[in-house]
């Protein structure tokens, strides 16, 4: 069964807008696990506008499922991950001023850099995943880096889904098949939602994990977090 990892960045955004510790992201992460989430994802950015580096260390000892840290592997980020030792690190090529992640890696152009970073993490027993577009050459070079998994960048799927679901998912289906053939695990994330997740899960084979934050937190404003997680898990059955 495909695992659901809840990205809690948006919860930290709400907290930071007011200051203090409300909502408490550590409690929120614990509650997500209690309600059935099979992982917690954070994406600390250099300006710490949502998840802070201190949050990572506060969360690390309390998470009982899988802790996934996403980010651009700058020296500071690499050091954070090596200290925190999460179950998984997802390498994302976002610029420091990016509002949100908006592209996958050019794994060919960044092959040596990614290979070196991945080796550092794997030496510490941290599973690695590279954020990529559903492009065969990018997946092939990702495999050559020695990474354990890729994470398919699904915003293009989400944008096209309302108009033509089959066309929207076609590249992702083939990308997952190729990744599996090359020995890679397959994750996916970005703009997956209750509207489009079940279809994506049905059509894309070998999917091990989805990481969902923005849509899930938005749904929770109406449904509550327990009911929201239940519905996302139902979409992955």
| Active-site choice (38, 66, 151, 190) | 190
User: What are the residues facing 6 on neighbouring strands?
Assistant: 40, 212
Active site residue 180: no
| Active-site choice (33, 38, 66, 70) | 70
Nearest Cα residue to 70 out of 106, 105, 112, 32 = 105
* Exposure string for 170-207, b = 16+ CB within 10 A, e = fewer: ebbbebbebbeeeebbbbbbbbbbbebbebbbebbeeb
Taking every pair of Cα atoms in the chain, the longest distance, rounded to a whole number of angstroms, is 48
Active site residue 70: yes
Please give the sequence-ordered ranges of beta strands (E in DSSP) within 63-183, or none if there are none: 66-71, 88-91, 127-132, 149-153
| Active-site choice (33, 38, 43, 50) | 43
Nearest Cα residue to 130 out of 46, 212, 121 = 121
How far is residue 81's CA from residue 77's CA, in Å, rounded to a whole number?
A: 6
Active site residue 50: no
The residues carrying an active-site annotation are 43, 70, 190
């Amino acid at each position: 069964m495909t695992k659901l990892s809840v990205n809690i960045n948006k919860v930290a955004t709400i907290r930071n807008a007011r200051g203090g510790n409300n909502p408490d992201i550590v409690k929120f992460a614990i509650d997500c696990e209690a309600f059935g989430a099979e992982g917690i994802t954070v994406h600390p950015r250099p300006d710490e506008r949502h998840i802070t580096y201190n949050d990572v260390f506060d969360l690390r000892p309390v998470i009982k499922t899988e802790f996934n840290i996403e980010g651009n592997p700058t020296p500071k980020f690499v050091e954070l991950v090596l200290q925190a030792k999460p179950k998984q690190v997802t390498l994302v090529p976002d610029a420091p001023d990016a509002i949100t992640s908006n592209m996958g890696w050019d794994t060919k152009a960044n092959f040596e850099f990614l290979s070196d970073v991945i080796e550092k993490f794997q030496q510490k027993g941290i599973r690695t995943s590279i954020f990529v577009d559903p492009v065969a050459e990018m997946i092939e070079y990702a495999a050559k880096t020695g990474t354990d998994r890729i994470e398919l960048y699904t915003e293009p799927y989400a944008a096209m889904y309302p108009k033509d679901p089959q066309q929207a998912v076609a590249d992702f289906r083939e990308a997952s098949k190729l990744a599996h053939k090359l020995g890679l695990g397959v994750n996916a994330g970005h703009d997956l939602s209750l509207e489009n997740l079940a279809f994506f899960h049905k059509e894309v084979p070998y999917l091990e994990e989805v990481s969902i934050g923005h849509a899930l937190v938005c749904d929770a404003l109406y449904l509550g977090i327990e009911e929201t997680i239940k519905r996302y898990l139902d979409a992955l059955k």
